[in-house]
Amino acid sequence: SKPIVAIVGRPNVGKSTLFNKLIGQRLAIVEDTPGVTRDRLYGNCEWQNHNFLLVDTGGIEPSVDDGILLHMRQQAQLAIDTAQAILFVTDLRAGVTAQDADIANMLMRSGKPVVLVVNKVDSLGAPPLELYDFYSLGLGEPYPVSSVHGHGTGDILEKICEYL
Ligand code: GDP
Ligand code: MG
């Protein structure tokens, strides 16, 4: 059966926007409004000779409620367990957060191959210096992407397919 690639990350980093860009259809719900629960969504993705199932993990906005953070971690863990490889999405504008570090630790414990995506790098040209902060997550090279414009998506697809 087809390999599964999961898109994992804390809320609002742009997972659903990336999912839509990669599968080329507007299936995932991109939500500007905090507090909205979204389901996991699946889509086929083809890249050169590879064909895999891409999973967008839903999320809820973090709040002071620990239960919501727990839910986010449970969803991420479920996605990690079922996937062959992970696209871990972070947000250049927000920088490296404690929630990113939390998910990075879950990913390292899983031993699954991870491509570290730094999203919202909208301008072309030399990558911003803030990109290099993401090395601190311990997951190797950060790949700059703009999910809105599509910049950098070819590079992450090429890398993820090396793991399938
Ligand atoms: P998710 O919660 O991780 O699924 O994030 P969404 O895909 O719902 O996106 C959250 C917000 O970030 C939305 O307002 C998106 O339009 C915005 N966003 C996503 N990707 C990009 C990007 O590459 N550049 C910019 N500037 N905004 C983005
Ligand atoms: Mg989403």
Q: Measured from the CB, is residue 120 less than 6 Å from ligand 1?
A: yes
**Is 13 annotated as ligand-binding?**
yes
**Is 16 annotated as ligand-binding?**
yes
Contacts 24+ apart (CB under 8 A), 27-32: 28/56
The token pair at 76 is: 């991420």
Q: Measured from the CB, is residue 13 less than 6 Å from ligand 1?
A: yes
Question: How far does the centroid of ligand 1 lie from the alpha carbon of residue 13, in Å?
Answer: 6
Tens-place pLDDT, residues 102-130: 899 999 999 999 999 999 999 999 999 99
Q: Which regions of the chain does DSSP assign to beta strands (E)?
A: 4-8, 41-47, 50-56, 85-91, 114-119, 142-144
Question: How far does the centroid of ligand 1 lie from the alpha carbon of residue 55, in Å?
Answer: 16
pTM here is: 0.89
The CA distance from 31 to 16, in Å, is: 9
The CA distance from 52 to 59, in Å, is: 22
Under 8 Å CB-to-CB from 98, ≥6 apart: which residues?
none
Tens-place pLDDT, residues 72-94: 777 778 888 999 999 999 999 99
Domain range list for the chain:
4-161
Higher pLDDT pick, 2 / 33 = 2
Question: How far does the centroid of ligand 1 lie from the alpha carbon of residue 80, in Å?
Answer: 21
**Ligand 1, atom 14: nearest CA belongs to which residue?**
32
Residue 35 pLDDT level (bands cut at 50, 70, 90)? very low
Q: What φ, ψ does residue 8 adopt, rounded to 5°?
A: -125, 150
Q: With respect to CATH, is domain 4-161 assigned 3.40.50.300?
A: yes
Q: Measured from the CB, is residue 146 less than 6 Å from ligand 1?
A: yes
Residue 41 pLDDT level (bands cut at 50, 70, 90)? confident
Task: Look up the ipTM and state it.
Answer: 0.99
Question: How far does the centroid of ligand 1 lie from the alpha carbon of residue 53, in Å?
Answer: 21
**pLDDT of res. 68:** 64
Q: Write out the residues surrounding ion ligand 2, Cβ under 5 A.
A: 15-16
Owner of token pair 């979204």: 38
- Number of neighbouring beta carbons within 10 Å of residue 142: 24
**pLDDT of res. 30:** 62
**Ligand 1, atom 17: nearest CA belongs to which residue?**
14
Fill in the amino acid letter for 46.
E
